[in-house]
Amino acid sequence: ITHFEERPSKADSYVINAGIYCFSPTIYSFIGPKDVSLERHVFPRLA
C-alpha cells in the first residue's frame, strides 16, 4: 500500500475498492487483539 484515504469528503472519481486481499503472516503484527476494520485500523498503518 502506497496511499490510503478513507472516504474523502469530496470524491474525485466514482471508483471504489472491492477485492480479495492476500496477506503474508506478518500482517498479524498490524492487527490488534480486538475486531478491527482493515480500512480504519490496518491500511493506514501500512500506507
Report pLDDT digits (tens) over 22-40: 889 988 888 878 867 888 8
**Averaged pLDDT, 9-34:** 81
What distance in Å separates the CA atoms of residue 1 and residue 40, rounded to the nearest whole number? Answer: 14
What are the residue boundaries of the structural domains of the chain, listed by start? 1-47
**Averaged pLDDT, 11-26:** 81
What distance in Å separates the CA atoms of residue 8 and residue 16, rounded to the nearest whole number? Answer: 12
pLDDT of 19 over the 80 cut? no
Q: What angle do CA 35, 36, 40 make, to 5 degrees?
A: 160
Predicted TM-score (pTM) of this structure: 0.49
* Confidence at residue 32, expressed as pLDDT on a 0 to 100 scale: 77
CA 34 vs CA 10, 14, 21, 26: distances in Å: 31, 32, 20, 17
- Mean pLDDT score across all residues of the chain: 79
